[in-house]
């Protein structure tokens, strides 16, 4: 991952390998998969759950099969996500359930329903309705089990549809407490007005939104697509603007914590420090059940374990799925970690310093 060239090559090579059904397990399983994935099945994740538990770090089991888009594959993903919600109910070490909406339908249909809904054919309207039923069924299952569920954010071309469905689900299932959580990618410059709209709507209609903040994982593709299709770039002009937007969103939710809950997903140390400081400043308890910090399995253990040790609520996303199905997720992690400023670079530097310190002792 230190070599961007290898990661880029790996990305294209793996796309070709997937399309011709070339086996990839032998190279991916002992490397990226071992680092970032909890196993192939729900049962396999027990190992990660038990590893995290003694450090007071909870798990959020994420069925990450992103490349199975046949009707049979979609149905299997839906059923597996239902299983993961039921599993979360019965296990106190699991903090949230989660799903990625695009795994429940075809990409081209999803993009069309999101961006050009009026152009859907009768057949497509029917297929989209089936997708909506699956989406709502997951939220209802979470509600019936009293398990909080995070709706992941995705590519810009899907996000309007995801937002509409999530808003609808929050109005339905968050009447007593936040069950359904919307994810806001703060690299988008339109997310603060959206957050305020959610808040105003919740006050008016009497429900409790759950808000998950991330910076966003698709920046390069989004900029390219916007330029190609000729619409304004939806991403903040630079990293500083994204960071400020992220901070503003987190602060807004914490200041309105009587109405909303917060899930903050980031490996950025400063963002984690800032939220900890904000909790202190507002005299909230460190382990206020309405506020969770979160990192991905295999990344930023220094942040997760230190926060948990200090008494804050922490949960790790624990992805699970078969090697070839989880590949898009792994490639995003590999890309995220290539730059010098990337998290793995930072972590390796810290590990080296600590090893040197211990040698000198
Ligand atoms: C628990 C958890 C759940 C997640 N769920 C999702 C999800 O549902 N959807 C999703 O899209 N991502 C998700 N992510 C990934 C996340 O969006 C980021 O890609 C990743 O965490 C890196 O951002 P950071 O805040 O950790 O770190 P940082 O290193 O501080 O930030 C890197 C991020 O900053 C932004 N950025 C970088 N350069 C620029 C620039 N020039 N201009 C504007 N912005 C810039 C990009 O978003 C980039 O990914 C999740 C991450 C975690 C930890």
Give the distance (Å) from ligand 1 centre to CA of residue 94: 23
Give the distance (Å) from ligand 1 centre to CA of residue 336: 8
Predicted pLDDT of residue 53:
96
Is the shortest distance between the CB of 297 and ligand 1 below 6 Å? no
Predicted pLDDT of residue 18:
74
Q: Which atom, in ligand 1's list, is nearest to the CA of 294? A: 1
Return the DSSP state at 32.
Answer: I
What is residue 158's three-state secondary structure? helix
Give the distance (Å) from ligand 1 centre to CA of residue 215: 4
Sign of the dihedral through C-alpha 138, 103, 33, 314 = negative
Is the shortest distance between the CB of 64 and ligand 1 below 6 Å? no
* Residue reference for tokens 């937002």: 163
The pLDDT of residue 337 is above 90: no
Question: Mind listing the domains of the chain with CATH numbers?
Answer: 1-28+322-361 (no CATH), 38-320 (3.20.20.220)
Protein residue closest via CA to atom 44 of ligand 1: 239
- Residue 94 binned pLDDT confidence (cut-offs 50, 70, 90): very high
The pLDDT of residue 341 is above 70: no
Predicted pLDDT of residue 15:
77
Predicted pLDDT of residue 36:
93
Is the shortest distance between the CB of 236 and ligand 1 below 6 Å? yes
* Degrees to nearest 5, angle at CA 64 with 73 and 150: 110
For residue 161, give both structure tokens: 């549809």
Contact, 202 vs 260, CB < 8 A?
yes
Give the distance (Å) from ligand 1 centre to CA of residue 360: 36
What is residue 160's three-state secondary structure? helix
Q: Which atom, in ligand 1's list, is nearest to the CA of 341? A: 29
pLDDT tens figures, 112-132: 999 999 999 999 999 999 999
Q: Which atom, in ligand 1's list, is nearest to the CA of 218? A: 11
Core vs surface per residue 214-233: b (16+ CB within 10 A) or e: bbbbbbeebeebeeeeeeeb
pLDDT tens figures, 4-61: 788 778 877 877 877 777 777 787 888 889 989 999 999 999 999 999 999 999 999 9
pLDDT tens figures, 62-90: 999 887 789 999 999 999 999 999 999 98
- Residue 143 binned pLDDT confidence (cut-offs 50, 70, 90): very high
Protein residue closest via CA to atom 27 of ligand 1: 268
How many CB atoms are located within 10 Å of the residue 164 CB? 14
Is the shortest distance between the CB of 185 and ligand 1 below 6 Å? yes
Among 60, 153, 162, 214, residue to substitute to test ligand 1 (most atoms within 8 Å of Cβ): 214
CA 14 remoteness from chain centre: 23
Q: Which atom, in ligand 1's list, is nearest to the CA of 246? A: 25
Predicted pLDDT of residue 69:
83
Is the pTM value of this prediction over 0.85?
Answer: yes
Is the shortest distance between the CB of 219 and ligand 1 below 6 Å? yes
pLDDT, averaged across the chain: 93
Is the shortest distance between the CB of 174 and ligand 1 below 6 Å? no
- What 31-37 contacts at long range (C-beta under 8 Å, 24+ apart), as own/partner pairs, is 32/330, 32/333, 32/334, 33/323, 33/326, 33/330, 35/298, 36/296, 36/297, 36/298, 36/299, 36/319, 36/329, 36/330, 36/333, 37/64, 37/297, 37/298, 37/319, 37/320, 37/321, 37/326, 37/329, 37/330
Among 265, 300, 329, 331, residue to substitute to test ligand 1 (most atoms within 8 Å of Cβ): 265
């Amino acid at each position: 991952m230190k070599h961007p060239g290898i990661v880029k090559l790996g990305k294209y090579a793996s796309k070709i390998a997937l399309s011709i059904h070339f086996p990839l397990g032998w190279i991916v399983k002992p490397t990226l998969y071992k680092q970032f994935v909890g196993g192939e099945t729900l049962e396999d994740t027990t190992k990660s759950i038990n590893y995290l538990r003694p450090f007071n770090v909870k798990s959020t089991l994420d069925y990450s099969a992103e490349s199975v888009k046949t009707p049979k594959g979609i149905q299997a993903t839906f059923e597996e996500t239902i299983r993961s919600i039921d599993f979360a109910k019965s296990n106190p070490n699991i903090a949230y359930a989660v799903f990625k909406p695009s795994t429940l339908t075809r990409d081209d249909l999803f993009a069309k329903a999101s961006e050009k809904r009026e152009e859907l054919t009768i057949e497509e309207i029917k297929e989209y309705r089936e997708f909506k039923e699956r989406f709502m069924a997951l939220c209802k299952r979470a509600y019936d089990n009293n398990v909080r569920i995070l709706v992941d954010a995705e590519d810009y071309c899907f996000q309007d549809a995801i937002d509409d469905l999530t808003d609808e689900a929050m109005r339905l299932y968050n009447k007593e407490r936040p069950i359904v959580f919307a994810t806001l990618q703060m690299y988008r410059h339109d997310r603060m007005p959206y957050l305020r709209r959610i808040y105003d709507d919740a006050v008016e209609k009497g429900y409790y939104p759950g808000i998950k903040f991330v910076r966003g994982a698709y920046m390069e593709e989004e900029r390219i697509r916007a330029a190609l299709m000729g619409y304004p770039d939806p991403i903040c002009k630079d990293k500083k603007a994204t960071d400020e937007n992220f901070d503003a969103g987190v602060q807004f939710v914490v200041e309105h914590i009587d109405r909303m809950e917060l899930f903050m997903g980031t490996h950025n140390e400063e963002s984690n420090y800032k939220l900890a400081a904000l909790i202190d400043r507002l005299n909230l308890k460190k382990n206020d059940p309405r506020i969770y910090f979160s990192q991905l399995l295999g990344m930023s253990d220094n942040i997760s374990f230190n926060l948990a040790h200090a008494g804050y609520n922490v949960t790790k996303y624990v992805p699970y799925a078969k090697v070839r199905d989880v590949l898009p997720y792994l490639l995003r992690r590999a890309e995220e970690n290539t730059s010098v400023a990337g998290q793995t670079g930072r972590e390796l530097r810290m590990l080296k310093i600590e090893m040197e310190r211990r040698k000198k002792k």
